[in-house]
Structure 1
Amino acid sequence: MARVPESQRVRDALEDAVVHGRYRPGERLDALQLEQQFGCSRTPIREALLALERSGLVQIRPKQGTYVTELSISELAERFEVMAELEGMAARLCARRIERAELDELERALKECENHATTGDADGYYYANARFHGVVYDSCGNEYLRQQALTLKRALQPYRRLQLRVPDRMRRSLTEHREIADAIASGDSEAAENAAREHVLVQVKEFSQLVRTWRQLTGR
Structure 2
Amino acid sequence: MTRNITSSKISETLKQALEERIVTGAYPPGARLDETEIANEFSVSRTPVREALIHLASSRLVVNRPRRGAVVAEASPQRLYEMFEVMAELESVSVRLAARRHNDTDLERIGEAHAACEEALESGDLEMYYQANERFHLAIYTASHNGFLYEETSNMQCRLAVYRRLQLRSQGRLKDSCNEHQGILDAIVAGDGENAASLAYAHVIVQGETFSDLIASLTAMRHY
- TM (norm. structure 2) is 0.88
**Paired residue for 2:75?**
71
**Paired residue for 1:86?**
90
**Paired residue for 2:188?**
184
Q: Answer yes or no: is the 8 Å Cα contact 2:32–2:68 preserved in 1.
A: no
Instruction: After superposing the two structures, state which structure 1 stretch, 60-69 or 39-48, moved more.
Output: 39-48
Gaps of 5+ in 1: none
- Identify if the C-alpha distance between structure 1 residues 209 and 139 changes in structure 2 by more than 3 Å, giving closer, same or farther: same
What is the rounded CA distance, in whole Å, between the counterparts of 1:112 and 1:33 in structure 2? Answer: 38
The structure 2 residue matched to 1:163, chosen from 149, 162, 167, is 167
- 1:2-81 superposed matches below 5 A: 5-81=9-85
- Identify if the C-alpha distance between structure 1 residues 214 and 48 changes in structure 2 by more than 3 Å, giving closer, same or farther: closer
The one-letter amino acid paired with 1:189 is G
The structure 1 residue matched to 2:108, chosen from 101, 104, 111, is 104
Q: Answer yes or no: is the 8 Å Cα contact 1:166–1:206 preserved in 2.
A: no
**Paired residue for 1:143?**
147
- Identify if the C-alpha distance between structure 1 residues 130 and 216 changes in structure 2 by more than 3 Å, giving closer, same or farther: closer
What is the rounded CA distance, in whole Å, between the counterparts of 1:215 and 1:101 in structure 2? Answer: 42
- Identify if the C-alpha distance between structure 1 residues 122 and 218 changes in structure 2 by more than 3 Å, giving closer, same or farther: closer
Give the superposed CA RMSD: 2.2
What is the rounded CA distance, in whole Å, between the counterparts of 1:39 and 1:112 in structure 2? Answer: 34
- Identify if the C-alpha distance between structure 1 residues 166 and 217 changes in structure 2 by more than 3 Å, giving closer, same or farther: closer
Alpha-carbon displacement from aligned partner over 1:121-150 (angstroms, at most 9, x marks no partner) = 222211111110000111111111111101
Cα offset, 1:198, TM superposition: 0.9
Alpha-carbon displacement from aligned partner over 1:154-196 (angstroms, at most 9, x marks no partner) = 1111111111111000100000001111111121111111111
- TM (norm. structure 1) is 0.90
